[in-house]
A and B are shown apart, each in its own frame.
Chain A
Amino acid sequence: MRLITVAGPPSSGKTSVILRLADVLREKNRKIGVVKFDCLTSFDRERYTEYGIPVQVGFAGKFCPDHFFISNVEDAVRWGFREGFDILITESAGLCNRCSPHIRGVLAVCVIDNLSGVHTPRKIGPMLKFADIVVVTKGDIVSQAEREVFMFNVRQVNNSAKIVFINGITGQGAFMLGKHAESAAEVASLRGYKLRFTTPSSVCSYCTGETRIGEEYQNGMLRKMEFP
């Protein structure tokens, strides 16, 4: 089974891109499944189900979404094997721009949209920096100039990734992503695989449910800003 991790900021078009990719892969009779890692709620289960794509949805809830992802992705792969997929896709929202779900040896896709502003690529961090493929969406509604500046800024952060423009509505461009998907590495199990970038050190009192503000409530690993 081939595995692909897809990550991107909220509303960047991850689900649409995966659905358009599914169109391309279905033409080749590939059986695909999706595991959606979300935070609190998700409306994507219906979108996948309506499309006839087997999907599992997990909510991080009060846990750090990246820690949640990495503690469940191995089981996700096992599920994929049980279902007999040719390709399993994990979809997760990058929430704090600090982390990335990308795993060494697993095809890593980052989805970002042109509407989010030309400087966004420079702010996203590891999720973009460590991706093998950067999918740019919503390019059909911004000017060519903005697309070019956007791409230049993607290149600044990730100089080796392939950049693919996809129209999430018509599917234009999904064909090229399909080509990349077909070349994703086969995975038997993720045991022993490593993340491309560390997840954050979240071991302060607020991680464990503290809500009160004040120095006496701040314990564990903290970082303080310096104000003049």
Chain B
Amino acid sequence: MTGDLYDRVAGRTLRELLAEHPVAADFFVNYNLQNLRDDLPLAEALDYADENTLIDFGLDKTTVLDQLVLFLQTVVEEKQTAAVQEITILGGRTKSGDAEEFTLSIKPGEIVSIVGPTGSGKSRLLADIECLAQRDTQTLRQVLVNGRTLEDEERFAMDGRLVAQLSQNMNFVMDLSVGEFLEMHAKSRLHPDPEKVAAECFAAANDLAGEKFTSQTKVTQLSGGQSRALMIADTACMSASPIVLIDEIENAGVDRRQAIRMLTKNEKIVLISTHDPLLALMAGKRLVIKNGGVHKIIETTPEERESLAKIEMLDNTLQSIRNRLRTGGRITPDTI
């Protein structure tokens, strides 16, 4: 496999190489070699390059070729993500050292909410999942993937790719338009058709956002609700991570139910730490955290699901009051 790739890289002109692997352009930029002649194979093209450029990077003509092969191998590997059919969380101990007795398996498309007072240990549970704890964190919990325990090497190899995170504190920091931003993400995922997937993701984000935005809008200029909508749509459509950990979704400007549906439709395992009744009840199960441990696991009953509709009506009422105030209206007891 490696030999094949080596021969292919060595034997082709740069133009052919770039046509097959557009991402290779990044490699040449990284080494200040973007102006190489593209009608020649790499080794010959380097004869026309400034030797100082290579020396600055501690390279010579042979090592550039090796590095390019390694580069392509890495980014191609990056495409593959571990297939997760199930994660299982095994209880450890609470803050006071008592046994935490529970076992919970979650499959793609399932939602589990995590509820409990501030400081009760919700974030710690998310952290245990993120590092795939093997009875070696403070909580002594264990997380199995596809029913298996994991060796340290396997955990390290995940490189944080298993878990995508969404939280209230997150912002966009790039100075790009929404369209450019999505295409950049799609390209980094080596998507065969970055423009198409970016467009889908853009449409999905606008579905979730209360106030619509264009693909020319700068990501840094989006409102809180629009940012959250774009982050959720992007995580659902583009992120490779099979597990999504959500630390609350703000209740203004985002269709939360639609957001959760979008994530589960894309076969993600979703865990939401929340104080929001709507989100808590949308999950099939909710974990109640107390004193650093899982105190109860409650399955959402049909009755609760029915109540969900009522809670949503309450929520809509609040939303309409908010909108009325926003647009300069007055509130009377009748509005409510």
Residue A213 interfacial (CB < 8 Å): no
User: Which residues of chain A from 148 to 196 have any CB-CB distance to chain B below 8 Å in the complex?
Assistant: 148-149, 151-153, 155-157, 159, 162-165, 170, 172-173, 175-176, 179-180
Residue A197 interfacial (CB < 8 Å): yes
Residues of A within 8 A of B173 (CB): 114-115, 117, 142, 146
Given contacts A144-B164, A146-B173, A159-B74, contact A122 B29 (CB under 8 A): yes
Residue B189 interfacial (CB < 8 Å): yes
| Chain A residues bordering chain B, tally (CB within 8 A) | 39
Residues of A within 8 A of B161 (CB): 151
Interface pair A149/B185, CB less than 8 Å apart? yes
B201's nearest neighbour on chain A, judged by CB, is A145
Interface pair A149/B27, CB less than 8 Å apart? no
Contact with A along B197-225 (1 / 0, CB 8 A): 00000000000000000000000000000
Interface pair A143/B170, CB less than 8 Å apart? yes
Cross-interface CB contact of A173 among B131, B169, B188, cutoff 8 Å: B131
Residue A126 interfacial (CB < 8 Å): yes
B50 to chain A, nearest CB (A): 10
User: Which residues of chain A from 195 to 221 have any CB-CB distance to chain B below 8 Å in the complex?
Assistant: 197-198
Residues of A within 8 A of B167 (CB): 140
Interchain CA distance A105-B26 in the complex, whole Å: 30
Cross-interface CB contact of B123 among A117, A126, A170, A180, cutoff 8 Å: A170
Residue B102 interfacial (CB < 8 Å): no
Residue B78 interfacial (CB < 8 Å): yes
Q: Is the interface of A mostly helix, strand, loop or mixed?
A: helix
Residues of B within 8 A of A172 (CB): 123, 127, 130
Interchain CA distance A105-B130 in the complex, whole Å: 30
User: Which residues of chain B from 232 to 248 have any CB-CB distance to chain A below 8 Å in the complex?
Assistant: 234-235, 238-241
Interchain CA distance A153-B181 in the complex, whole Å: 15
Interface pair B160/A151, CB less than 8 Å apart? yes
Interface pair B231/A159, CB less than 8 Å apart? no
Given contacts A140-B170, A157-B30, A170-B123, contact A162 B238 (CB under 8 A): no
Residue B303 interfacial (CB < 8 Å): no
Interface pair A159/B30, CB less than 8 Å apart? no
Q: Show the binding face of B for A, using Cβ within 8 Å.
A: 26-27, 29-30, 52, 57-58, 70-71, 73-75, 78, 123, 127, 130-131, 136-138, 152, 155-156, 159-161, 164-167, 169-174, 181-182, 184-185, 188-189, 227, 230-231, 234-235, 238-241
Given contacts A118-B174, A175-B137, 14 further A-B contacts (CB under 8 A): A115-B173, A122-B29, A122-B30, A125-B57, A140-B170, A141-B171, A143-B230, A144-B170, A145-B181, A148-B240, A156-B74, A162-B159, A172-B123, A176-B131
26 A-B interface contacts by CB (under 8 A): A114-B173, A117-B174, A122-B29, A125-B57, A126-B58, A140-B169, A143-B170, A143-B171, A143-B172, A143-B227, A144-B170, A144-B234, A145-B235, A145-B238, A146-B174, A151-B159, A151-B160, A152-B188, A156-B27, A156-B74, A159-B70, A165-B160, A172-B130, A176-B131, A176-B156, A198-B58
